[in-house]
Structure 1
Amino acid sequence: MDQKDWKILKLLYEEKNITKTAEKLYVSQPSLSYRLKNLEKEIGTELIFKTKTGIEFTSEGEYLVKYAKDMLQQLQVVKDNINNMSEEISGTLKIGVSSNFAQYVLPNLLKTFSNKYPEVRFNVRTGVSSDVYKMINDSSVHIGILRRDYQWQSRKYLLNQEPLYIISQNEINVQELPSYKQIDYKTDSSLKEIINRWWTTEFASPASIEMEVDRLDTCKELVKSGLGYSIVPEICLKEEENLYKSKVESKDGALIKRDTWIMYNEDYENLVIVKKFIEHMRSWGNIK
């Protein structure tokens, strides 16, 4: 077995599908199947078996997947430590990022960091916060940027707090919000919880949801067209969009905010590249 086999087993275990795995590895399905057969011959036992929906691993196969994951992690530690020995800050920084943060904030953060340290490369994976939490749990990333607080046992910092806004084409009466048409969008469950909790304390009747869309950007365009209002985090708003904005507040005048957290394993503090990026992130955040 070598590094390629470790990667094959790890990805195949995640996909449970030979065709999808082959596509992600940029190899043909027959060549991947051939390599798996040779690996089974080398190990001396079957590792996978076919099902109606794809493939599953035998108990021996699952044991080998765990070994492959451990070896890939150890190899990455070796690479990181070697890069860390250099006086020049270089190497690959692996980051897991909540999708909206990745879309609206991360590009500029990476650009300014890259200007300081041009030899650093980035490996970025995005998803909802629960996905990012899994990434830091299984050490597939150095750092996680999440939009939800988790009971993380290692290092975590509250990076930023941003207000939520009610946005519309023209001014609306917030006290009569249930009578207006709302445009909803798919997002992290934590944001939904914040909005729903605020709504139930402010209004006796539910929101009148006119439309539901997949993307926050699509939602904003519909709002700009005057088709309804929406409730969004400040992170996605730009001054030039000329939307009517009203901060979401509780009855006692407190702003309803959304948090951004940075979480990572304390072992990675030994890596200069990680330490420098955390410093960079904390200088951006408004929580000191």
Structure 2
Amino acid sequence: MDYKSMEYLVSIHEEKSLTKAAKKLFVSQPALSYRISQIEEELDVQIIKTDGRMIHFTEEGEYLVDWSKKELNHFQNMKEFISNMKGNSSKKIHIGVVNNFARYKLSPIIEEFKNLHPDIEVKLSIGSSSEVLSLLKTRKVNVAITRGLNDWNGERKILSQERISIISKEPIDIGKLPYIPRVSHTLKKVSKSSLSNQISLTDQIKNWWNENFDVAPLVGMEVDDIDTCKEMVKCSAGYSIIPRICLRDDDKFFTIDLTTKDGEPIIRNTWLLYNNVDEKSSVINFIDFLNL
């Protein structure tokens, strides 16, 4: 099998859908189906079984997917190693970063990393956690910084942890929250398949609310940007619930950290995700820099 065939197999396995995989790969579904049939004919084995709109990988298909993931990873490592061997070629690292971390935490990290490693060229791709994870799975980035839980099966390290907090302009009684307007932050819509194995910030807040109250929150306003959300709270539009990563030193809010019924803090993790890499890789330089 060639590189494209391996990439096709991995994408279909991740998306659980020929249509979605074809869209991600920028090919037509008939072309993708034809390529899979060619692989099956070449290897004399059935890779995929269909059940209506559902697809299932055979035992042989699962083996080929695992093998393809390893080979694709080896190929990427080889490309980077060859690139780094060239005396006149700078090292490179492509980092996918989730929106909130990029907005509130990333700049000083990249500045210090570049000061220590001026020979490494850094490229950034910013998006939602599901978008960044998709870039890593399709090997369009070398490393991903994402938030919350996810279904990544490669290497992972916790980059940071912070609590989720209620913010308000004036002190509030947490027991009276159901009667106080909330400025709700709505996440950008993503596909169901992208969220199937992820716990979003919205889920964490909803779970906490349902554990403490029997009625729905009084949502007075919905916004799709956390900075706008904070500005509305400053204007006395109500309270909001956001991760502490989004609070700056000069933000003057009253805050209450969310806890479970047992008093345990409700935490939002930021993860560093990556594939196995060569010890001379720029990714290793980045991980060592972060002291993970």
Q: What is the alpha-carbon distance in structure 1 between the residues aligned to residue 213 and residue 142 of structure 2?
A: 42
* 1:259-270 paired onto structure 2 within 5 Å: 259-266=269-276, 268-270=277-279
**Aligned residue for 1:195?**
205
**Aligned residue for 2:246?**
236
**CA deviation vs aligned residue, 1:114-134 (integer Å, no higher than 9, x gap):** 111112222211222111221
Amino acid at match of 2:222: E
Q: Normalising by structure 2, what TM-score?
A: 0.69
Shift of 1:269: 3.9
State whether structure 2 residue 287 is matched by structure 1 residue 275: no
* 1:178-189 paired onto structure 2 within 5 Å: 178-187=178-187
Shift of 1:151: 3.4
Amino acid at match of 1:216: I
Specify the SS of the correspondent of 2:290: helix
Question: Per the alignment, do residues 223 and 147 of structure 1 end up closer, same or farther by CA in structure 2, a change over 3 Å counting?
Answer: same
**Aligned residue for 1:32?**
none
**Aligned residue for 2:263?**
253
* 1:114-133 paired onto structure 2 within 5 Å: 114-133=114-133
Amino acid at match of 1:240: D
Q: Normalising by structure 1, what TM-score?
A: 0.70
Specify the SS of the correspondent of 1:259: strand
- Computed over aligned residues only, the root mean square deviation of the Cα atoms, in angstroms, reads 3.3
**Aligned residue for 1:59?**
31
**CA deviation vs aligned residue, 1:70-120 (integer Å, no higher than 9, x gap):** 9x9998655411343368994221111111111111111111101111122
**CA deviation vs aligned residue, 1:196-240 (integer Å, no higher than 9, x gap):** 111100111111111111100000001111111100101010121
Specify the SS of the correspondent of 2:284: helix
Question: Per the alignment, do residues 229 and 15 of structure 1 end up closer, same or farther by CA in structure 2, a change over 3 Å counting?
Answer: farther
| Larger proportion of helix | 1
Q: What is the alpha-carbon distance in structure 2 between the residues aligned to residue 253 and residue 270 of structure 1?
A: 42
* Deviates most, 198-207 or 148-157: 148-157
Q: What is the alpha-carbon distance in structure 2 between the residues aligned to residue 155 and residue 89 of structure 1?
A: 27
Q: What is the alpha-carbon distance in structure 1 between the residues aligned to residue 262 and residue 215 of structure 2?
A: 20
Q: May I ask how many residue pairs the two structures share in their alignment?
A: 232
Q: Any conservation in 1 of the 2:165–2:257 contact (CA below 8 Å)?
A: yes
Q: What is the alpha-carbon distance in structure 1 between the residues aligned to residue 95 and residue 116 of structure 2?
A: 18
Specify the SS of the correspondent of 2:250: helix
Amino acid at match of 2:180: Y
Q: Any conservation in 2 of the 1:94–1:123 contact (CA below 8 Å)?
A: yes
**CA deviation vs aligned residue, 1:49-89 (integer Å, no higher than 9, x gap):** xxxxxxx46528985xxxxxx9x999865541134336899
Q: Any conservation in 1 of the 2:80–2:281 contact (CA below 8 Å)?
A: no
Specify the SS of the correspondent of 1:239: coil
Q: What is the alpha-carbon distance in structure 1 between the residues aligned to residue 89 and residue 282 of structure 2?
A: 6
**Aligned residue for 1:40?**
none
**Aligned residue for 2:107?**
107
State whether structure 2 residue 193 is matched by structure 1 residue 221: no
Q: Any conservation in 2 of the 1:102–1:126 contact (CA below 8 Å)?
A: yes
Structure 2, gaps ≥5 residues long = 1-21, 36-68, 189-198
Specify the SS of the correspondent of 1:240: coil
**Aligned residue for 2:137?**
137
Question: Per the alignment, do residues 259 and 173 of structure 1 end up closer, same or farther by CA in structure 2, a change over 3 Å counting?
Answer: same
Shift of 1:252: 2.3
**Aligned residue for 1:37?**
none
Shift of 1:195: 0.6
Structure 1, gaps ≥5 residues long = 1-11, 17-47, 49-55, 64-69, 284-288
Question: Per the alignment, do residues 14 and 154 of structure 1 end up closer, same or farther by CA in structure 2, a change over 3 Å counting?
Answer: closer
Specify the SS of the correspondent of 2:156: strand
Q: What is the alpha-carbon distance in structure 2 between the residues aligned to residue 137 and residue 209 of structure 1?
A: 36
Q: What is the alpha-carbon distance in structure 2 between the residues aligned to residue 113 and residue 215 of structure 1?
A: 28
Q: What is the alpha-carbon distance in structure 2 between the residues aligned to residue 243 and residue 261 of structure 1?
A: 27
Q: Any conservation in 2 of the 1:147–1:259 contact (CA below 8 Å)?
A: yes
